[in-house]
Amino acid sequence: MSKVLITGVAGFIGFHLANKLIDEGYEVIGIDNINDYYDVNLKLARLKELDITSTDFQENKEYSGKITFVKLDLQDLEGMKSLFKKYEFSYVVNLAAQAGVRYSLINPHSYVDNNITGFLNVLECCRAYPVKHLVFASSSSVYGLSEQVPFQEDNSTDHPLAMYAASKKANEMMAHSYAHLYDIPSTGLRFFTVYGPWGRPDMALYIFTKAITEDKEFDIYNDGDMSRDFTYVDDIVESIKRLIPLAPQRDNPKFNVQVPKPSKSSAPYQIFNIGNNSPVALMDFVHAIEKALKKKGKKVFKPIQPGDVTSTYANVESLFNYIDFKPETSIEDGIDKFVEFYLKYHGINE
C-alpha cells in the first residue's frame, strides 16, 4: 500500500479525503495540531468517525484507528522530519492551514506562522525525504482584484486582498522554487468555496443554517449581490484522489519559456482550479438553505466587508482534462446533505 500523509486531517476537507483514500486502499497517516480557531469538539468528532478516540491528545504520540493519527504542528520541524523519516511517504497532501479571510484582518501573524513557515517545513521534509507527489491547498482568493471571470489558472494573481490570500500565493511560489531546485513534483489546488457535511462553523453555510434553526438574525454582505462557485466536498476529494498518482513531470512540453504561463513550468509543477464551474447567487444559496430547513431566515443586509470579493467563478477545464472528472453535485443536493448532517450532529428534530 502507498503511504499518504494528510496534514490537517481533523479539518473539513482532510477528514473527507482520509475516508476516501482509505476506501481506495491507501495507508493514511494524518496529522493535525487541533487548534481552537473553531470548535475543537467538531475536530474531535471528525477524528472519532475515523476511529481515533481521545479527549486529550498528546503531542507527537501516535493513535491508531482507520488511520494513524499524530497530533503535530507543521511549525515543529524536528517532529515533522521524524515523521517523514519513519513513514517514507509516497505522497503528501498538505491541507493544514490557518483559514478564514476575515480572521486574517485580526491576526495576520497566524497566517505567516501557519501557512508560510508551516508550509516551508513541509517542503523541507519533502526535500530531505523525497516523495512522488506533493499536492497542496491554495485558494481562489489568490485572484484578488481580478474580475476576469471565469478565473483561469493563468490569470494574474498579483493583487491579493487579505493576508490569507497572500499566504496562499506565497505557497504557490515556494512550491515552485522547491520543484525547480529539488525536483519535488508539486501540484497546487485553488479551492473554490468548498461546502458540505462536517464543514467549518465559520463558513457561510454553517452560519446561515445555525441562525435559521435558532431563529436568529444573520448578516448578508454587499446587500446580497454576491456569487460563489460553491463546490461540494465529495467532488473535491474525488478530484484530489484522482490527482494524487498523476505527478507533473519536469520539462513540460506545454511550457514556453518565451511566453511563460503561471500554471505550468519547466519544473515538475502545476496549478489547477478546483471548483464547480457554476457560480450561484448568494441569495439563491440562502433560499436553498431555507427550503431545506422549511423555514425563513432573519436576514440583515450589510455592505461588503474588507477582503471580500463579489464573485468567484472557476474555469476547471484544465483539471477536468487532466483527471477526466468534473464536479457534478447540485447546490440543492449538497445543501440538503449538509442540513441533514447539521440537524443530526446538533440533535435537532426536524
Do 30 and 14 touch, CB atoms closer than 8 A? yes
Q: How confident is the model at residue 283 (pLDDT cuts 50, 70, 90)?
A: very high
Cα–Cα distance for residue pair 310/247, rounded to 1 Å = 34
Q: Which of 63, 164, 178, 195 is catalytic?
A: 164
pLDDT, residue 267, reads 94
Per-domain boundaries in the chain: 3-195+231-276+312-328
CATH class of this structure's domain 3-195+231-276+312-328: alpha beta
Q: Rg for the chain (alpha carbons), in Å?
A: 20
pLDDT tens digit sequence for 26-49 = 999 999 999 999 999 999 999 999
**Gap between the Cα atoms of 80 and 86, Å rounded:** 10
pLDDT at residue 324, rounded to an integer: 94
Residue 320 has pLDDT above 80, yes or no: yes
* 78 burial level (CB within 10 Å; 0-12, 13-18, 19+): exposed
H/E run at residue 264: none
Q: Is the pLDDT of residue 350 over 70?
A: no
Cα–Cα distance for residue pair 324/284, rounded to 1 Å: 29
| Average pLDDT, rounded, for the chain | 93
Which cell numbers in the block locate residue 80? 515533522
Count CB atoms within 10 A of the CB of residue 141. 26
When pLDDT is averaged across residues 219-246 and rounded to a whole number, the result is: 93
Query: 314 or 298: whose pLDDT is higher?
Result: 298
Task: Return the residue matching grid coordinates 478516540.
Answer: 53
Rounded to an integer, what distance in angstroms lies between the CA atom of residue 111 and that of residue 107? 8
Mean per-residue pLDDT, 254-271? 88
Query: Stretch 122-145: mean pLDDT, rounded?
Result: 95
Catalytic: 164? yes
End-to-end CA distance of the chain: 43
Are 187 and 243 within 8 A, CB to CB?
yes
- The pLDDT > 90 percentage for the chain reads 76
Assess whether pLDDT exceeds 70 at residue 259: yes
Comparing 109 with 308, the larger pLDDT belongs to: 109
235-253 pLDDT, tens digit each:
999 999 999 999 999 888 8
> Per DSSP, what are the bridge partners of residue 314?
151
103, pLDDT greater than 90: no
> Residue range 149-176: average pLDDT?
92
Q: Which of 54-63, 278-287, 308-317 has the lowest mean pLDDT?
A: 308-317
Buried b (16+ CB within 10 A) or exposed e, 29-51: bbbbbbeebbeeebbbebbeebe
pLDDT at site 260: 84
Is the CB of residue 207 less than 8 Å from the CB of residue 218?
Answer: yes
- pLDDT confidence of residue 54: 86
pLDDT for the residue 3: 97
- Per-residue confidence at 295, pLDDT binned at 50, 70, 90? very high
Q: Does 231 score more than 80 pLDDT?
A: yes
Averaged pLDDT, 213-240 = 93
- Regarding predicted confidence, which is higher, 327 or 238? 238
Task: Say what the pLDDT of residue 312 is.
Answer: 81
